[in-house]
Amino acid sequence: AQKVTQAQTEISVVEKEDVTLDCVYETRDTTYYLFWYKQPPSGELVFLIRRNSFDEQNEISGRYSWNFQKSTSSFNFTITASQVVDSAVYFCALSEANTGNQFYFGTGTSLTVIP
Amino acid sequence: DTAVSQTPKYLVTQMGNDKSIKCEQNLGHDTMYWYKQDSKKFLKIMFSYNNKELIINETVPNRFSPKSPDKAHLNLHINSLELGDSAVYFCASSQDARTGDGNTGELFFGEGSRLTVL
């Protein structure tokens, strides 16, 4: 079973639109960590955020915001006023405390921001 | 200073050859990984080492052999290369998020090594 599901394979938006990337996870652990990574066309994998299971506060960083909801096992990522530089593949990932350093990645969402 | 560095960045070789990719991290992390990213961008864990000991060994052909001479290095050796081995290979490191010493536990990735088998 897929532990991290990113149902949106590809999304296209016009510049300045807001866009939300969905991430649904599955775990039986009470302690776990959620992450988002960005992979721009240049290919490197860039860490964006980490959330632990005890901290359900939403986070905002500039145009980026994350909505963590344990009730729906979701950790969605919203980009406000999207820009062309936001075009990338975005990966959601889960790490469980019981399995130590095992990271489970979603299949990624490819975001294209059209100028 | 590059946190996780891997070499070479590009590798083009013929089927049947043997090749190695090297990885080094200067973050003092305990755990290192190799991931394979195929043309569809799927990131698949191959191996993970914690303090030089193998802790994750996913279903990978035994032509792939990781070697960790110390906890700062994790090299990947591939024997008898096949066309299907063409991919981008990422090395990564992390500190266990449970150590409670302020490390965030996220994966730090190298820049990737693009392997093309002809």
**DSSP per-residue codes, A58-101:** -EEETTEEEEEEGGGTEEEEEESS--GGG-EEEEEEEEEGGGTT
pLDDT for the residue numbered A100? 63
Mean pLDDT, residues A11-36? 95
pLDDT for the residue numbered A81? 97
Quick one: tokens of B23?
């990885």
Q: Does residue A15 surpass a pLDDT of 70?
A: yes
User: A65-112 pLDDT, tens per residue?
Assistant: 999 999 999 999 999 999 999 999 999 999 887 776 678 999 999 999
User: Three-class SS of residue B58?
Assistant: coil
**Residues of A at the B interface (Cβ-Cβ below 8 Å)?**
33, 35, 37, 39, 43-45, 47, 50, 52, 89, 91, 93, 95, 97, 100-103, 105, 107-108, 110
pLDDT for the residue numbered B57? 75
In chain A, which residues have their Cβ closer than 8 Å to the Cβ of B96? 100-101
CA distance B41 to chain A (A): 7
Cα dihedral sign, B113-B78-B34-A87: positive
In chain B, which residues have their Cβ closer than 8 Å to the Cβ of A97? 97-98
Q: What is the pLDDT along chain B (118 residues), one digit of tens a residue?
A: 669 999 999 999 999 999 999 999 999 988 899 999 998 899 999 988 887 788 777 778 899 999 999 989 999 999 999 999 999 999 999 987 555 554 558 899 999 999 999 9
pLDDT for the residue numbered B101? 52
d(CA B70, CA A12): 44
pLDDT for the residue numbered B98? 58
Question: What residues contact residue A19 under an 8 Å CB cut-off, 6+ apart?
Answer: A11, A13, A78, A79, A82, A111
